[in-house]
Structures are given as structure tokens and as C-alpha cells.
């Protein structure tokens, strides 16, 4: 599933469309449009507009125009092709090839084109996407913002640390693989109540969150973490060799090391 790193690669590729004018919108699959919007109303809103920039908020890619913005959410298997070039040659979840049958949405510009492909059809394109219920972007989150995101109210013990990291309304962009890798590097148990972190632990989590995202962006994506190869029965902690444990935290399969993650 594309997490913020993959969407960051999409953003970098989409950036080359800045300055181009939208001549036509192709919607081979109307299901790709969010909020029940019709292809016709989308065309009326953006055809003739110029792309100003491509920005990312968590897993949301926003194409700002000189009119309304276009928001792209990639779901489980979405991806981008710009001028025939794939953002990512091969994703963990995809066969590594691009099929025109998977194109759900396309923009033809005065020069070149942008295609949104999505074999499993969970991705969506929206007009002026609502970002009001999204937390701060994980790549830009400050330690203070992270602290506020984890300081939940309500009855004890409150949500688990990992569940909170994956809650897009708390912090935007972290998915299952990144969540496990960050907590493993930060030596924090995923099932701990989010609100139980001491100030020093919070600083450590923030440091590892920032460093993990930078490191894996450089390596090539969410699936390039140190823990990745050990996410299976019999897998061992790359730090201390202990058998890893598999649990379900926040409804998601979680691999972690009971020896060094507390």
C-alpha cells in the first residue's frame, strides 16, 4: 500500500506538470471520482486551468491549479505515470508492470499527460480535497505536534501507540510498514498506550520517526526497512536476534521485538 514515501515519489514526478495547461480529463472509470462527482462536472471545474504545483499532505497528493485543486488518494494499489514514466518501477504490492486497463483517470495537458492507475480501485480523485481532518504531515511533524497527537483523552488506557501513529487524523502519512519500522527503531512497544510515553521517550520517537522516513525515502520506499525481511513466522530481530512476535494492534498485523521494545 502506498504510504507517504511512495506518495512523495509520485509528487516529485507530478511536479514536472507545473506550468502545464489541462486540455482534457479522461475518466475511464467514474468510480475513481470521490463524492459521486461526474466526469462532466470535474471537467467543467479544471479544463483550461494551469497546474501550479504538486504538494503532498500525508498520503494525499494535491495538484494545485490556478482554479480548484485536484486531490489524489492512492488507496491500496494506486500509482502515477507522467509522460510515460512510472513514479516507482516496482512496488511491493504490484506486479511491477503498468497496464493501460488499470488507468482510472488521466489528464491530458498542452504537453504530455498524467495517468492515475489503480488495479484494485480503492484510490480516489477529488476536487478541492478536505484536509481539515488530517493531522500534520509525518515528514514535517515537530516533537510538540507529535506529543499533542499522542496525548489522547478519554478513559484509560486509551489507544495504542501504533494505532495512534497510523491514525491519519492524528499524524498523516504513516502506514503499517513504516509504523512497525519506526517503533522497532525507537525501541517502543506498539501496544503501549499512546499517552504513556515519558518526555524522553517522546523525543526518541520523534528522532527515529524523522530519521526513518529520511532513510527509507533514500533507500526506495516503505518496504526497505530493516525489519522487512523478518516479517514472517520465525523472523528474528535484526538488532538482538530475538524471535519477533506477531500481534494485532489497531486492527493491523504488527511485528515487533519483545526483548528490546518496551
Q: Which residues bind Zn ion (CB under 5 A)?
A: 237, 239-240, 257, 259-260
Between 35 and 240, CB nearer to Zn ion? 240
Q: Is 2 a catalytic residue?
A: yes
Minimum CB distance to Zn ion, residue 163 (Å): 21
Residue number, 90 or 262, with CB nearest to Zn ion:
262
Nearest-approach distance from CB 261 to Zn ion, in angstroms: 7
Contact status, residue 80 vs residue 115, Cβ threshold 8 Å: yes
Is 113 annotated as catalytic? no
Distances 261 to 59, 182, 242 between C-alpha atoms, Å: 27, 11, 11
Query: Known catalytic residue: 15?
Result: no
Contact call for residues 63 and 14 (beta carbons, < 8 A): yes
Q: How far apart are CA 228 and CA 240, in angstroms?
A: 15
Block residue for cell numbers 525489519: 227
CB 8, min distance to Zn ion, A:
28
Beta strands in 27-177 (DSSP E): 51-57, 60-65, 70-73, 79-82, 85-86, 103-109, 113-117, 124-127
- Active site residue: 11, 59, 124, 231, which one? 59
Of 134 and 227, the one with the shorter C-beta distance to Zn ion is 227
H helix intervals, the chain = 4-14, 39-46, 143-150, 161-166, 176-185, 199-219
Closest to Zn ion by CB, 16 or 259: 259
At closest approach, how far in Å is the CB of 236 from Zn ion? Answer: 8
Locate cell 525501541: which residue?
187
Q: Is 252 a catalytic residue?
A: yes
From 2, 119, 129, 190, active-site residue: 2
Nearer to Zn ion by Cβ, of 65 and 254: the residue is 254
Minimum distance, C-beta of residue 256 to Zn ion, in the bound complex (Å): 8
Given 16, 148, 252, 259, the catalytic residue: 252
Compute CA distances 149 → 130, 170, 254, 257, whole Å. 19, 5, 21, 24
Which residues are tagged catalytic? 2-3, 59, 252
Amino acid at each position: 500500500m502506498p504510504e507517504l514515501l511512495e506518495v512523495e515519489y509520485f509528487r516529485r514526478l507530478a511536479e514536472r506538470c507545473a506550468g502545464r495547461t489541462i486540455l482534457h480529463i479522461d475518466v475511464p472509470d467514474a468510480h475513481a471520482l470521490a463524492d459521486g462527482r461526474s466526469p462532466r462536472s470535474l471537467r467543467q471545474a479544471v479544463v483550461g486551468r494551469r497546474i501550479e504545483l504538486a504538494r503532498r499532505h500525508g498520503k494525499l497528493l494535491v495538484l494545485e491549479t490556478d482554479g480548484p485543486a485536484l486531490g489524489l488518494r492512492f488507496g491500496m494499489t494506486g500509482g502515477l505515470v507522467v509522460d510515460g514514466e512510472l513514479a516507482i518501477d516496482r512496488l511491493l504490492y504490484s506486479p511491477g508492470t503498468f497496464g493501460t486497463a488499470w488507468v482510472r483517470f488521466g489528464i491530458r495537458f498542452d504537453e504530455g499527460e498524467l495517468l492515475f492507475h489503480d488495479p484494485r480501485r480503492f484510490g480516489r480523485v477529488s476536487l478541492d480535497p478536505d484536509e481539515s481532518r488530517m493531522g500534520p504531515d509525518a515528514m514535517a511533524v515537530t516533537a510538540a505536534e507529535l506529543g499533542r497527537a499522542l496525548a489522547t483523552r478519554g478513559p484509560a488506557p486509551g489507544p495504542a501507540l501504533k494505532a495512534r501513529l497510523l491514525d491519519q487524523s492524528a499524524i498523516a502519512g504513516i502506514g503499517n510498514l513504516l509504523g512497525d519500522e519506526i517503533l522497532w527503531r525507537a525501541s517502543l512497544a506498539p501496544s503501549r498506550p499512546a499517552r504513556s510515553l515519558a518526555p524522553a521517550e517522546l523525543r526518541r520517537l520523534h528522532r527515529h520517526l524523522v530519521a526513518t522516513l529520511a532513510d527509507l525515502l533514500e533507500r526506495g520506499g516503505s518496504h526497505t526497512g530493516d525489519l522487512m525481511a523478518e516479517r514472517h513466522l520465525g523472523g528474528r530481530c535484526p538488532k538482538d536476534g530475538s524471535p519477533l512476535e506477531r500481534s494485532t494492534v489497531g486492527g493491523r498485523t504488527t511485528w515487533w521485538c519483545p526483548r528490546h521494545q518496551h
